[in-house]
Amino acid sequence: MAPLVLSSPEQYQKLVDSVDTFLLDCDGVLYHGPVVVEGVKTVLNMLRASGKKVIFVTNNATKSRRKLQAALNKLDLNASLEECFGSAYASAVYLSQVLNFPKDKKVYVFGEEGIEEELDAVGIAHCGGTDTEDREFKPPIDFDSFKPDPSVGAVLCGFDSWINYKKIAKAMTYLRSNPKCELILTNTDATYPTHGSQFPGSGSLSIPIVNSSKRTPIVIGKPNTTMMDAIIADHKFDPSRALMVGDNLATDIEFGLNSGVRTLLVMGGVTSRDQVFGDKPSHVVPDLVIESFGDLAVLAKDKAE
């Protein structure tokens, strides 16, 4: 079944009236690089003024909510801390509220400051991450130094630009020595888009740990339902009155569909028209399609008049 294409103020208003919680991808929906999409600021202010809940949902695990908020507000989007929900915070919430991570255990972090900050926010102890002894590893390898710490109850992997053999070996050692130690990935994004190009993403960096530990990980980020479980656990909203807005069929739209949340695809991002309306469209079909999220700004103008 083809998606419904929204193009009139009447359709826009009907949609807004039917939604209490807007889950918004960031790049491609709100902005393209440093440029905010026309009308988006007006739409966000209108939704907030109408009592709608706005949540910015991103797979980026290098940024804590605080840093995501700062990045959004640098673009004058008036984001609050509560509105920000990256995969680093989602992982921390999943550990604390869904898995009820034991208070006497700690997490080994294969990642950067964003993950550590969010674990601190939910009161979970951690090691690894930015620890100097791991970051400044240099060969030769002392295999006798890889002694498992029995207090480590989970290994959490995100994007780590300080990746090295010692971090991989430590993570594998914790997982192989303790069958109850959880392996959690913030996301499985194969690439990280920046400066108009693609570089290895979190999913690519975690492969050595997954392969060497022979463990099946819990994956948090979009399109997995674990991300939605974390968002709902933290924000307590009705999924039937929520809408996932994104520009990527494989992450944003599939995320909503997997979670039983209606989806709105924004054109002008990473998804081509052929993928939606071509002779051989994608098997991932959004519920709704709109040219730009900023198009909803016409509703604010109508009310002003």
Tell me if 25 is assigned to a ligand binding site.
yes
Strands of the chain, DSSP E: 4-5, 21-24, 31-32, 35-36, 53-58, 84-86, 106-110, 125-128, 152-157, 182-185, 191-194, 197-200, 218-219, 242-246, 262-266, 288-290
| Cα–Cα dist 180/101, whole Å | 12
Of 27, 131, 149, 229, the active-site residue reads 27
Active site residue 25: yes
Half-sphere exposure of 283 (CA within 13 A, CB side): 0
Active site residue 274: no
Residue 122 tokens read as 């939910």
Of 25, 134, 160, 189, the active-site residue reads 25
Tell me if 74 is assigned to a ligand binding site.
no
Tell me if 222 is assigned to a ligand binding site.
yes
Residue 129 tokens read as 């991450």
Q: Which residues are catalytic?
A: 25, 27
Could you tell me which residues are annotated as the binding site for substrate? 222
Could you tell me which residues are annotated as the binding site? 25, 27, 222, 247
